[in-house]
Structure 1
């Protein structure tokens, strides 16, 4: 699947893998392996940002994946996000989509909102919010229609 199709069809909360198509180098080639891993990984789709035009500068539409959190115990020290332009040449695969009825927790309302948590239920989302402090959070239920329509359109593309 292309980056443009991910942007157009795949719902936030989906687990996406991406690849440049090259084979994984042997473990002993640490530098080559590190470079390969930066172009062959995956994460949860957390944000879609439309194209922007500001004066003579423009930026294409892009989406962001949350690749992981690093820290100790329950303290997150580093959160890794990676953004991809819709004209990116990598190949993408949707591993899973959010389950219908699950609750998406966004950090705020509006166009720049970022998915910060995907809860199994509204109660789970509200419990998570109490301990994570997002005062402007917005909860949205994942509908059956949205996931089904995206899945059919994604397969047809």
Structure 2
């Protein structure tokens, strides 16, 4: 499916895979492999930004995936995100949707909210918030409607 369909139909917290359709290069070709991995990977959908107009320039809508965290001793020192335009030529697939009843911890209220953590329950989300600094965080439980989006972009069978 296209990045536009991910923007339109995938819920925040969904695990998304993207690919360009090219074969994986051999391990010995490190630069080619790194370039390939940049266009063929996966991540958790953490943000959707609508189209914006800046002066006479129109910026297309985007989706942002959280690809991983790096650190040690329980301290995250680097978070890796990748943002894609809805006009991207890559192919996207919904691999996994957040479970019904899981809780999204969003950094703020509103349309531009970004997912900062995904938990299995409201209690776990509240406990997580006590140890992390998000003063304007909003908790949102995943509804059946959000979880019903099928991997093909349509509604899942009931």
TM-score (norm 2): 0.94
TM-score (norm 1): 0.95
Distance 2:132 2:106 in 1: 12
Distance 1:65 1:81 in 2: 6
Q: Determine the structure 2 residue equivalent to 1:135.
A: 135
Query: Within 5 A, what are the aligned runs for 1:11-50?
Result: 11-50=11-50
Instruction: State the aligned residue count.
Output: 155
Query: Within 5 A, what are the aligned runs for 1:116-131?
Result: 116-131=116-131
Q: Determine the structure 1 residue equivalent to 2:58.
A: 58
Q: Determine the structure 2 residue equivalent to 1:151.
A: 150
Q: CA deviation at 1:110?
A: 1.4
1:15-65 Cα distance to aligned partner (Å, 9 max, x none) = 001001000000011111011011101100000000011221110000100
- What stretches of structure 1 of length at least 5 have no aligned partner? none
SS in 1 for 2:113: coil
Distance 1:155 1:137 in 2: 30
Contact 2:95 2:151 survives alignment (8 Å)? no
Distance 2:154 2:28 in 1: 38
Contact 2:105 2:139 survives alignment (8 Å)? yes
Distance 1:42 1:152 in 2: 14
1:92 aligns with 2:92: yes
